[in-house]
Amino acid sequence: MDAEIARAVGAGSSAPRIEDARLLTGKARYVENLDVSGCLFAAFLRSTHAHACIKSIDTTRAVAAPGVVAVFTGVDLLEAGVGPLPFHEVVQREDGGPMQPPARLALASDRVRFSGEAIALVIAQTRRAALDALEHIQVDYDPLPVVVRARMAHAEDAPLVADGAPRNVVGFMRIGDKAKTDAVFARAAHVTRLSLTNQRLSASPMETRSVIASWDRDRNRLTLFAGNQAPHMAREQIARCLGIPNDDLRIVVGDIGGGFGMKLVPYPEEVALLFAARSLKASIRWKADRTESFLSDTHGRDHDTDAEMAFDREGRILGVRMRVWANMGAYLSFFGITVATGSGNRVVSGVYRIPTLDVEVRAMLTNTAPVGPYRGAGRPEAIYRLERLLDVGAAELGMDPVTLRRINLITPDAIPYLANSGQIYESGNFPRILDQALAVADWAGFDARREAARARGQLYGGGICCHIDTTSGIRPFEQVGIVANALGRIDVFSGTQAMGQGIATVYASMVATRLGIPIDHINIVQGDTDRVPDGVGSYGSRSLFIGGSAVVQATEALVDVLRQRAAAVLASNSGDLIFEAGRFAVADRSIGIFELLARTGGVEAQGRHESKFVFPNGCYVCEAEIDPETGVVTIARFSGVDDVGTVIHPMIVHGQVQGSIAQGIAQALYEEVVYDDEGQLLSASFMDYALPRADVLPRLSVETDETSICPTNPLGAKGAGEAGCLGAPPAVVGAVMDALAKFGVRHLDMPLTPEKIWRAMRTPTPACRAEMRS
Amino acid sequence: MMYEFAYVRPASLEDAVRALRMHSEAKPLAGGMSLLSAMKLRLAAPTHLVDLGRLDGLAGIAGNNQAITIGAMTRHADVAASPIVREAIPALAVLAGDIGDRQVRHRGTLGGSVANADPAACYPAAVLGLAGTIITDRRHIGSDDFFRGLYETALETDEIVAAVEFTRPARAGYMKFPHPASRFALVGVFVAEFGAGNVRVAVTGAGPRVFREARLEAALAKEFTPTVASAVAVSAEGLNSDRAASAEYRAHLVSVMAARAVAWALAPTSQS
């Protein structure tokens, strides 16, 4: 049945992207391109302090400045009853009480908790007038002590970010069995211990956050034009903040120039701008400049971890202990705490049999920008700590890292497998994926390549990572409507969201192939809460396997209705009709879809799919070369195999895999959001924040394996958007550490900058020095 | 978004100087690849921009046996592609061809870069390394006297660079270790040998301004080889220390880049 459906929707063929002609010829509908007449312009005054009480704000001169229409502060919003932005109440405090994060107001009123937090909003006739007026606002701050690192925020004497978070722990989560884990550690033949940091990243989309907030005079309601990845969810959250019914807010999304999870959550600026639009009965534009984007977009990752793994004599894992301090920033963005306590922990034990574990995650408040979902969202952190433990463990046990992984992998006979997280791995063949990845990587030829590199005076190492992702996220359903009109146009309505990944092409191609008609008859409608009745959004690699499965259901429902009609027209039993190449046929009589629609009128059909979490997985192999004089790392080879279930559109899957691997390599080698001890952002532009460029990325040899398709959806798909962000960092770091092994280096934190590596080569560890002496 | 400013397009170098004199907060615009960005970030707020872009006499490249002279408004891409430069000082053509990105190389100019004196820019290393002379609307300034400090030169506020004259070396090389984000020089080293015993080594990116490295010069004057450059322990004192690199690492990179620049200068393929 599954294979049949996959065939019927054209799995394995890559239709050209229907988005590209528009996107590549300047016809994209980014918010900045929308022509909304009579717009006013907005600018936000942002805190220059990372932590301070606001003693007073004087806006008098700004209000009087040329071109200024209005200036709003936090007090204006509070007095009008605008509430704080909501957060996902997914765990409790460490003492068992309900979480009490600081209220995240659209404009801070009496206290700021991170540098860049919005304090005041100027609305003016022009953007320049708004920006100029910002300089006329006087804010009197009373600075407070600052803490920026999650681990340091837990210290007894650390400054407190909020009253409701004792020792800055805003939420707490525990998985596993502490007593049992303590017991296995006590009798383990070997324990590997590692403290590591998974550094903070910025999503850095090409299109920064951009908004038009508009008051609809005819209908007395608000419209938000914004690049949100989940407009229906955002509508609910923002409407709650504004104290209005969902129907009084319409969200319209055009094209999105990169989301990566950062554009999933609603933002304070959107709430403040909607409030201003309602107050002034106006339309207001705002676009973050790049520095504002670095300051105020949700960041990703930022976990400090103490990780331990207990082994028996043969290298079998006996247990794992993790203590995680997850940096939330100063406030909880809607999914900030979900990333740390939810999504990553569904793959807490990776692809390995781990008899017992003891994991504690503390969600920490600090004086930094709020953290949110970012491609991978929790899973890269979870996979990284396991894979680093295995690499270091292998070195300590004197074992080959591949062998150590292989003997601990969950075997295919154990699938479906109840993992430590309580999740069921529904499909997968991890040893097969490992073997294939080693073959694609020509692992047998590694030693020869290392010798060749050494002959050129270069250091050379290999790294491997076996990763498993979990896709879907909360609200695991999508609803899809299809409307075929009498003229042969077919509209498909979905609450998932195009954001460059090509999901519209995939949906259109699936529907066109199933119906046997040209793709240009299909129109995918997304990103408008008025036009799309219901839906959830695009995140967690869910658009195809949930949204696409709903498209399949809706298409089948449409075919059923058309079949009934064709049966009537052809005077036959519907069961006798054969539907092929866009025609219903019986004996020598047949009718095409378009003629049928023209004769019998339009058709509507619905489809819905709800899914459990599913588990794409894979294995990557990286070979890295290090220049011993400078410490510069070059990725020599990057290979692997991904099991994303059925591959519906190979070109788009490979694009997703390449993009996420690029981001993963970038985390390993380049990117890092850095605050100084005073909470000032040091990486606030692309002059300081190192995004990778094409010339530092290797040619990727990554294949897909479709032998373990997903049994829980009709397509057999698992999701392909994020695995590269999980698998690439451990593979790259593993390769670099292997190359540095002779210097006694066990572990360096990402990003592996040239200076970090140069220092590691210059200052061998004591053990290494002893070895060199002997 | 920039503050408001007036745009002035002078017809001659004299007019340009006059405009700068008339408005104390005026700035010459010579490509604008640094100035316009600073203005967009509101870090610079000139009242007037005096655009040198139409002063055709300021662009062009000429050479003889001793030196080549490059007009201040010559774009990086034109220097990189110039047969005269490639023949006389291939290292300079390579340096120009690796500044910024393609767009920057087609807008940015030699004079703009030299006058801006960004401590991590490439051109100042070539000007200093090649014993260049900065020719302005009113005088000649030797490169040893020109670069004074962070974004600071010997230029008067109303003085405009018209051209730069580079001494032809026997051989020269430039190596840049790029900043991971900006790709400006984290460390860039220009080495030039002007006949036996006369070597200049100019370092950019590593300190608050471009500077000559005396120990490397002395060592390479005795023997112009990569091994000699590698063996010189460059002092970290006074070098920049920031998130991208400590002073100690920069000092190390100076000798590594110097050695690679020497190797490049000696390689048969780099001599045309």
Q: pLDDT tens digit string along A397-406?
A: 999 999 999 9
**Are the Cβ atoms of B181 and A127 closer than 8 angstroms?**
no
In this structure, what token pair is assigned to residue A173?
A: 């989560």
Chain A CB contacts of B245 under 8 Å are 755
Q: Which of the listed residues B136, B167, B198 is the one where a domain comes to its end?
A: B167
Task: Residue B191: name the closest of B91, B100, B58 by CA.
Answer: B91
Q: Is the pLDDT of residue B183 over 60?
A: yes
Residues B214 and B251 in one domain: yes
CATH number of the domain to which B125 belongs: 3.30.465.10
Average pLDDT over residues A608-614: 93
Residues B120 and B177 in one domain: no
Task: Residue A442: name the closest of A450, A35, A573 by CA.
Answer: A450
CB atoms within 10 A of CB A135: 13
A630 touches chain B (CB under 8 A): yes
CA A416 to CA A444: how far, in whole Å? 32
Which residue of A lies nearest to B252 if distances are taken between CA atoms? A630
Q: Which of A629, A630, A686 sits opposite B181 (nearest CB)?
A: A686
| Contact between residue A614 and residue A426 where contact means Cβ atoms under 8 Å apart | yes
Q: Is the pLDDT of residue A764 over 70?
A: no
Identify the residue with better confidence: A612 or A647: A647
Smallest CA–CA distance, residue B11 to chain A, in Å, is: 31
**Across-strand partners of A682?**
none
CB atoms within 10 A of CB A184: 21
Going by pLDDT thresholds of 50, 70 and 90, the confidence category of residue B271 is: low
End-to-end CA distance of chain A: 66
| Segments forming the whole domain that contains residue B74 | 56-167
Q: Is the dihedral of CA A155, A160, A162, A166 positive or negative?
A: positive
In this structure, what token pair is assigned to residue A683?
A: 């990486």
Residue-range domain boundaries for chain A: 2-29+473-610, 38-148+204-296, 428-465+615-774
Cβ within 8 Å of B, A 666-705:
670, 674, 682-683, 686-691
Domain count along chain B: 3
Q: Which of B42, B181, B253 sits opposite A690 (nearest CB)?
A: B181
| Contact between residue A112 and residue A54 where contact means Cβ atoms under 8 Å apart | yes
Q: Is the pLDDT of residue B150 over 70?
A: yes
Residue B243 domain flag: yes
DSSP A528: B
CA B131 to CA B113: how far, in whole Å? 17
Q: Which of B41, B42, B256 sits opposite A630 (nearest CB)?
A: B256
Chain A CB contacts of B239 under 8 Å are none
Q: pLDDT tens digit string along A167-177?
A: 999 999 999 99
Task: Residue A361: name the closest of A419, A302, A425 by CA.
Answer: A302
pLDDT, position A472: 80
In this structure, what token pair is assigned to residue A374?
A: 């970012």
Is A182 in a helix, a strand, or coil?
A: helix
Residue B1 domain flag: no
Q: Is the pLDDT of residue A359 over 80?
A: yes
CA A591 to CA A565: how far, in whole Å? 10
Residues B161 and B218 in one domain: no
pLDDT, position A2: 65
Tell me how far CA of residue A483 lies from CA of A529, A550, A557, A582, in angstroms: 17, 14, 11, 17
pLDDT, position A1: 46
Q: What is the mean pLDDT of chain A?
A: 96
A92 touches chain B (CB under 8 A): no
pLDDT, position B270: 62
CA A212 to CA A440: how far, in whole Å? 48
Chain B CB contacts of A758 under 8 Å are 249, 252
CA A774 to CA A769: how far, in whole Å? 9
Q: What percent of chain B has pLDDT over 90?
A: 97
At A659, the amino acid letter reads G
Name the one residue in this structure whose structure tokens are 């991904």.
Answer: A642
pLDDT, position A465: 98
Chain A CB contacts of B243 under 8 Å are 674, 682-683, 688
CB atoms within 10 A of CB A116: 24
In this structure, what token pair is assigned to residue A396?
A: 């300590």
Smallest CA–CA distance, residue B1 to chain A, in Å, is: 7
**Are the Cβ atoms of A687 and B181 closer than 8 angstroms?**
yes
Residue B102 domain flag: yes
CA A198 to CA A305: how far, in whole Å? 8
CATH number of the domain to which B27 belongs: 3.30.43.10
Average pLDDT over residues A180-199: 98
Going by pLDDT thresholds of 50, 70 and 90, the confidence category of residue A768 is: low
Residues B163 and B80 in one domain: yes
Chain A CB contacts of B42 under 8 Å are 131
Helix, strand counts (H, E) of chain B: 12, 14
Residues B61 and B161 in one domain: yes
Q: Which of A670, A683, A755 sits opposite B249 (nearest CB)?
A: A755
DSSP string, A78-98: HHTT--PPP----SB-TTSSB
Task: Residue A432: name the closest of A351, A353, A355, A350 by CA.
Answer: A351
Smallest CA–CA distance, residue A382 to chain B, in Å, is: 27
Going by pLDDT thresholds of 50, 70 and 90, the confidence category of residue A238 is: very high
Q: Which of the listed residues B167, B185, B217 is the one where a domain comes to its end?
A: B167
* Across A21-30, A733-742, A746-755, least confident range: A21-30
The CATH architecture one would assign to domain A38-148+204-296 is Alpha-Beta Complex (3.90)
pLDDT, position A770: 52
B11 touches chain A (CB under 8 A): no
Q: pLDDT tens digit string along A561-593?
A: 999 999 999 999 999 999 999 999 999 999 999
Classify strands B147-149 and B140-142 as parallel, antiparallel or unpaired: unpaired
Is A2-29+473-610's fold the same as A38-148+204-296's?
no
In this structure, what token pair is assigned to residue B225?
A: 């080889």
CA B133 to CA A171: how far, in whole Å? 65
CATH class of A428-465+615-774: alpha beta
Task: Residue A315: name the closest of A409, A446, A447 by CA.
Answer: A409
Q: Which of A127, A128, A670 sits opposite B180 (nearest CB)?
A: A670
Residue B23 domain flag: yes
Task: Residue A550: name the closest of A599, A493, A594 by CA.
Answer: A493
Which residue of B lies nearest to A130 if distances are taken between CA atoms? B1
pLDDT, position A37: 87
CATH number of the domain to which B220 belongs: 3.30.390.50
CA A559 to CA A567: how far, in whole Å? 12
Average pLDDT over residues A402-419: 97
Alpha carbon A622 to chain centroid distance?
A: 23
Q: Which of A630, A687, A759 sits opposite B253 (nearest CB)?
A: A630
Smallest CA–CA distance, residue B3 to chain A, in Å, is: 8
Q: pLDDT tens digit string along B91-100?
A: 999 999 999 9
Residues B108 and B151 in one domain: yes
- Give every CB contact of residue A22 below 8 A, 6+ residues apart in sequence: A28, A255
Q: Which of A127, A291, A753 sits opposite B180 (nearest CB)?
A: A753
Number of inter-chain CB pairs under 8 A, A vs B = 43
Q: Which of B42, B177, B243 sits opposite A682 (nearest CB)?
A: B243
Q: pLDDT tens digit string along A112-162?
A: 999 999 999 999 999 999 999 999 999 999 999 999 999 999 999 999 999
Which residue of B lies nearest to A684 if distances are taken between CA atoms? B181
Which residue of B lies nearest to A126 if distances are taken between CA atoms? B1
B182 touches chain A (CB under 8 A): yes
Q: Is the pLDDT of residue A227 over 90?
A: yes
Residues B105 and B136 in one domain: yes
pLDDT, position B196: 82
DSSP string, B152-208: EES--TT--EEEEEEEPPSEEEEEEEE-TTT-SEEEEEEEEE-STT-EEEEEESSSS
Q: Helices A549-569 and A503-515: crossing angle, nearest 10°?
A: 30
Going by pLDDT thresholds of 50, 70 and 90, the confidence category of residue A772 is: very low
Q: pLDDT tens digit string along A328-354?
A: 999 999 999 999 998 889 999 999 999
**Are the Cβ atoms of A630 and B177 closer than 8 angstroms?**
yes
CATH 3.30.365.10 fits A2-29+473-610, yes or no: yes
* Across A86-90, A730-734, B225-229, least confident range: A86-90
pLDDT, position A474: 77
DSSP B269: G
Q: What is the mean pLDDT of chain B?
A: 96
Q: pLDDT tens digit string along A272-311?
A: 999 999 999 999 999 999 999 999 999 999 999 999 999 9
Cβ within 8 Å of A, B 53-112:
none
End-to-end CA distance of chain B: 46
Residues B260 and B222 in one domain: yes
CA A27 to CA A241: how far, in whole Å? 34
Residues B94 and B175 in one domain: no
Determine the residue among B2, B177, B182, B260 to mutate to test chain A binding: the one whose Cβ has the most chain A Cβ atoms within 10 Å: B182
Residues B139 and B190 in one domain: no
Residue B216 domain flag: yes
Q: What percent of chain A has pLDDT over 70?
A: 98
Residues B71 and B150 in one domain: yes
Chain B CB contacts of A291 under 8 Å are 41
User: Which DSSP helix (H) or strand (E) runs through A185?
Assistant: helix A178-187
Chain B CB contacts of A128 under 8 Å are 1, 3-4
Chain B CB contacts of A689 under 8 Å are 181
Name the one residue in this structure whose structure tokens are 């005073």.
Answer: A678
* A553 CB burial (10 A radius; 0-12, 13-18, 19+): buried
Going by pLDDT thresholds of 50, 70 and 90, the confidence category of residue A774 is: very low
